Chain A
């Protein structure tokens, strides 16, 4: 029997949706008992959310004041202790999991599999390389623990309705003090989260200014969509870094992705390949984004987007 431990990602006392995706990945390996570890200064509320995920056997809470922020150097030694009882350790391929999991793997003396997008068996997985221009099948040795990050866009979240037991766990480890959290600047917004949104409106270099980029927010609000951006738009300062979609930003799989004024560099396409429907609006009819778009429209953003917003608002009214 395989035994999988998933490290819960949480923020502001709420479980991140990435954790439910990791549960689905873990369930795909076959016969498996799944536990979730919740580290925190006060993990009770997050643990309760995790316990409701279908298919989870136990939720282990590790309560320490040092765990109030997810510092990899602090969390990794505790996870390395907890991992001893498991055949698999999964975390999300978000900045949280990508920062933490390799550190845990190195402490355990094993390699790590990044960005699992498909599961063939308990020890065989598929993952993207070269900005998703190639998919490789990899095999981990059966004799040692598998440590992997899960590409969240590739898995559906596990359903709710579960009733896992919540148990406090000891993870005896000496914690370093060489790494200290100072502050976080996060854009608080009422819009859907980019990583999990069903609809995303994304703007590129053609918006030409931060002022014009506001058009993206107006259209997104009309549609109930999250806002994304190309690297070019972020580099130019039109949009915040956390909005970047692509190989080195967020990899997303919404029902609808609207690429507005985005030419479609291969690194950007990597981030949206799994979207159900891609819409491209661009004044350059030769832009590579049209090669992957399900619906394309050649024209001027600054006239089309306000029209679009008006039409969509009218439909909803």
Chain B
């Protein structure tokens, strides 16, 4: 059976209050907790559930990032991925390059599905899945909250601004996950031990035949957003209504 490819990005943990460096060159990462992008955990969980229903072969976890991203891939293996692949890069790659890398892996592994998070919570771009689908010339089902496989097609419910859309896509295809697709499982201690023995391969962009592009979209500087300040407290509903009326917002 065809495998499922899952993207795993190493990002600053969602609970960390991110701060901009004083020189505007980036955000503070020293001593900051790093984790799997939460949407990618959901992607992995969905892939595992599909495999557990015997509807897919191996689940391959792929990360594009620094050597330290091996930590997140080990976590993915502990969750249940069969093997992991790190495409090691020193500087962060843009979504189009990430899509080109994933396309190479798709050509090599011929998965039935590539499941990615709908966005990474660091750069908040939300582009890689759609770009991969374009380069691969295959369907995309973004913002998935339900995924049903039926032979060579999948039926996907998507969370959109108007409500819920359902589309049918031919496989292979790219699916990106929204929050309510599933709840990722917790990792148990024996799984961590088992994960140490699972294969984790490291390759470079050059080995994959992907050229490192010049920066397509160049980041010039980081700034802290303007802060809102604490306002006034009122005692009860009638004081609140008076305060709202005074501001002319009722």
Contact = CB atoms under 8 A, between A and B. Distances in A.
Taking chain B's interface residues, is the majority helix, strand, or loop, or is none over half, making it mixed? Answer: mixed
Interface string B221-239: 1111100101111111111
Nearest to A72: B140
A295 B224 contact: no
Contact of B19 (A109, A133, A307): A133
A225 B12 CA distance: 36
Interface string A78-119: 000000000000000011101111111111011111110000
B159 interface: yes
Contacts of B89: none
B219 A138 contact: yes
B164 A241 contact: yes
B161 A182 contact: no
Contact of B220 (A138, A195, A223, A235): A138
Contacts of A231: 179
Interface size class of A (residues with CB under 8 A): 35 or more
Given A140-B217, A182-B168, A132 B179 contact: no
A1 interface: no
B56 interface: no
B241 A114 contact: no
Given A311-B237, A311-B241, A241 B145 contact: yes
Contact of B96 (A72, A94, A105, A130): A105
A250 B161 contact: yes
A104 B220 CA distance: 25
Nearest to A109: B96
A308 B143 CA distance: 36
B7 to A, nearest CB: 14
B32 to A, nearest CB: 11
A94 B162 CA distance: 10
Interface in B91-150: 94-96, 99, 118-119, 121-135, 137-143, 145
A15 B210 CA distance: 41
Nearest to A94: B161
A242 B161 contact: yes
A256 interface: yes
Contacts of A233: none
Given A99-B140, A137-B221, A295-B232, 6 more contacts: A100-B130, A138-B217, A182-B155, A266-B17, A281-B240, A298-B233
22 contacts: A95-B159, A95-B160, A103-B130, A112-B96, A130-B124, A131-B18, A136-B220, A139-B217, A180-B169, A182-B166, A184-B164, A185-B166, A223-B250, A242-B160, A255-B249, A278-B228, A293-B230, A293-B231, A297-B239, A297-B240, A307-B237, A311-B237
What are the nearest 10 A-B pairs in CB distance?
A: A111-B216, A186-B163, A294-B231, A106-B134, A102-B127, A102-B130, A106-B131, A307-B237, A133-B18, A178-B170
